[in-house]
Amino acid sequence: MGERLVILAGGVSSRMKNSSASEDLAQHLRHAADNQPKAMIAVGETQRPFLDYLLYNARSAGYSDIVIVIGPNDSLMRSHYRGNDCGNYFHGLSISYAVQSIPEGRTKPLGTADALLQGLLSVPEWAGSYFSVCNSDNLYSADAFAALLRLSSESVMIDYNSETLGMSSARLNQFAVTKKSADGYLEALIEKPSAEEIAQCRTAGGHVGVSMNLFRLSYDRILPALQNTPLNPVRREKELPAAVLLMCEMTKEKVRTIEFAEAVPDLTTKIDIGPVMQLIRTSFPKDLWK
């Protein structure tokens, strides 16, 4: 069995569907944004979906066993990521799926911690090992994926320099600010921090780190935390950063942070589609999987 990765793609893409589009966005892309999982929007010149490029970077870094957490009505991903033998093999990647259902009385699933829980419950054979986890709407680099694998026997988080991500301050407010010890271990993940909290989180180098849900974690240590993560009282979701901190509290596990300074394309709203397409044209080969 190779390196393992869980991709969280079970959300309902409400921000994408409810957002406005730029005037030059093609009609077929508007339709896709309103009707498909956002990770399946065709952003490549050869009509490849966004998730293809994320998987390409993951494979380039050394991952081979992938679990994609999908919504209950998502048949598009299953049909796209099938090999010629009709199995779940895609250009050297072994892909399986876990379904994140929407509880009765809700219009959305229970959040990223619940998504990861469903993903791990689908692969009990991963027990006793480490795995990585990421969002499906952020295009993390192969270098960032590879950095997680270099520390194979401890929990790790990529700690992004907020000044290099290429996002507006409003967009950055959607991610948690990281507070770290002097020796680089995670102490807190602060949602919607105050100016004073941001100042306290600045590193010796002067930058503020943020988490974009790119972690390498122990299956055995994170699973009980995921099962016990409470609903966020405001957003009413179970969030992965809260689960990671709960894991640290329950197991005394430390999470090492790896500082990274690079842009991370983010596909959250229709306005993002154009810039993401341009970046893919200039950064990836047209014959992506050859």
Supply φ then ψ for residue 166, to 5 degrees.
75, 30
- Residue 191: what pLDDT? 80
- Residue 84: what pLDDT? 45
Its pTM stands at: 0.94
Q: Which two tokens stand for residue 110?
A: 């229970």
- Residue 33: what pLDDT? 95
- Residue 101: what pLDDT? 94
- Residue 83: what pLDDT? 52
Contacts of 254 (CB under 8 A, 6+ apart): 154, 155, 185, 186, 248
Reported in sequence order, the residue ranges of the chain that DSSP labels E, i.e. its strands, are 3-9, 63-70, 89-90, 93-99, 130-135, 155-161, 176-180, 186-190, 209-218, 255-260
- Residue 204: what pLDDT? 72
Give the domains, in start order, of the chain with CATH numbers.
Answer: 3-283 (3.90.550.10)
- Residue 166: what pLDDT? 81
Residues in the chain with pLDDT values less than 50: 84-86
- Residue 38: what pLDDT? 94
- Cα–chain-centroid distance for residue 185? 21
- Residue 1: what pLDDT? 59
Which letter does DSSP use for residue 137 in this model?
S
For residue 10, give Cα distances in angstroms to 46, 53, 58, 108: 25, 18, 19, 9
- Residue 86: what pLDDT? 46
Contacts of 246 (CB under 8 A, 6+ apart): 225, 228, 229
Q: What is the pLDDT of residues 228-238, one digit of tens each?
A: 999 999 889 99
Q: What is the pLDDT of residues 248-279, one digit of tens each?
A: 999 999 999 999 999 999 999 999 999 999 99
Pick the closest to residue 141 from 113, 164, 111, 170 (CA basis): 164
In angstroms, rounded to a whole number, what is the distance separating the alpha carbons of residues 162 and 168?
A: 10
Beta-strand relationship, 130-135 and 255-260: unpaired
In angstroms, rounded to a whole number, what is the distance separating the alpha carbons of residues 100 and 244?
A: 19
- Residue 169: what pLDDT? 73
Q: Does residue 65 sit in helix, strand or coil?
A: strand
